Amino acid sequence: MIAVIDYGAGNLRSIVNACKKVGAETEIVTKIGSPDAIILPGVGNFGDAMGKLKPIRQDLIDAIEGGTPFLGLCLGLQVLFEKSEEAPGVKGLGILNGSCKRFKESAGKVPHMGWNQVGLRPTSAANESRKSSSPIYPPIFNGVKDNENFYFVHSYYAPVVEETIGICNYGIDFSAVVQKKNIFACQFHPERSGEAGLRVLNNFVREACK
């Protein structure tokens, strides 16, 4: 069972319906428990989200560090970082290093809303091996084309870090997808990204249920 965390910051039904389309059994929960995998959706303010996550913060970190497959969506990606300009003084989960920042108006309309391309980054193994004539991408990208379009709605962005495996540009390059061991997170909304978004969800489910 995949636990979809309800902390008042996500369109839960859309996520559950999308998971159902790819054959995943989900349950909307307010406590972590012992699920097979965790999805943390998120729409809204970084500070509010961290406040609402406070009662389960340590349980969530323990589950992630214990190896439970995790998928963060939109704000669910940003809270993995240490902090955000959206809520000065509020600590994120701190699983990834760095701070989320607000798009500058020079980049375009804020929020960044609509379809945009995601450029895929090969795995480190592919970078180290010269035997392969084509790049090897992380399993969450199985069946996903490089520079595929996904649907975004956000005013703040996460920096490109070592764990970034998908990059989008909106005046500046930012993390569209990150991966760290059992952790995956997408800035875009896979549940609103058509067939490509469902592929990402399906790939996560397949990895989580191995």
CA dist 86 and 102 (Å) reads: 7
Yes or no: say if 137 and 167 are a contact pair by the CB < 8 Å rule. Answer: no
pLDDT(130) > 50: no
- Residue 165's nearest CA partner among 149, 143, 189, 181 is 181
pLDDT surpassing 50 at residue 5: yes
Catalogue the active-site residues: 74, 189, 191
Domain tally, the chain: 1
Query: What's the whole-model pTM score?
Result: 0.93
Tell me which residue range forms the domain holding 166: 2-208
Q: How confident is the model at residue 4 (pLDDT cuts 50, 70, 90)?
A: very high
Dump pLDDT digits (tens) for 53-109.
999 999 999 999 999 999 999 999 999 999 999 999 999 999 999 999 999 988 889
Handedness of CA 178, 184, 187, 192 (dihedral sign): positive
Confidence of residue 137 (pLDDT cuts 50, 70, 90): confident
Amino acid in the structure at residue 132? S
Instruction: Write down the mean pLDDT value for the chain.
Output: 92
Are 153 and 113 spatial neighbours (Cβ–Cβ below 8 Å)? yes
Residue 29 has pLDDT above 80, yes or no: yes
pLDDT of residue 117: 98
In contact, 85 and 100? CB cutoff 8 Å:
yes
The proportion of the chain whose per-residue pLDDT surpasses 70, expressed as a percent, equals 94
Is pLDDT above 60 for 155?
A: yes
For the CA atoms of 21, 189, 141, 123, the dihedral, rounded to the nearest 10 degrees, stands at: -150
Mean pLDDT of 105-121: 93
The CATH number linked to 26 is 3.40.50.880
Give residue 127's pLDDT. 47
* Residue 124: predicted pLDDT: 56
pLDDT tops 60 at residue 46:
yes
pLDDT in tens, 172-185: 999 999 999 999 99
> HSE of 165 in the Cβ direction (CA atoms, 13 Å)?
27
> Is pLDDT larger for residue 208 or for residue 149?
149
If we measure between CA atoms, which residue out of 140, 142, 136, 134 comes closest to residue 123? 136
Q: Is the pLDDT of residue 200 over 50?
A: yes
Question: How far apart are alpha carbons 200 and 75 in whole angstroms?
Answer: 17
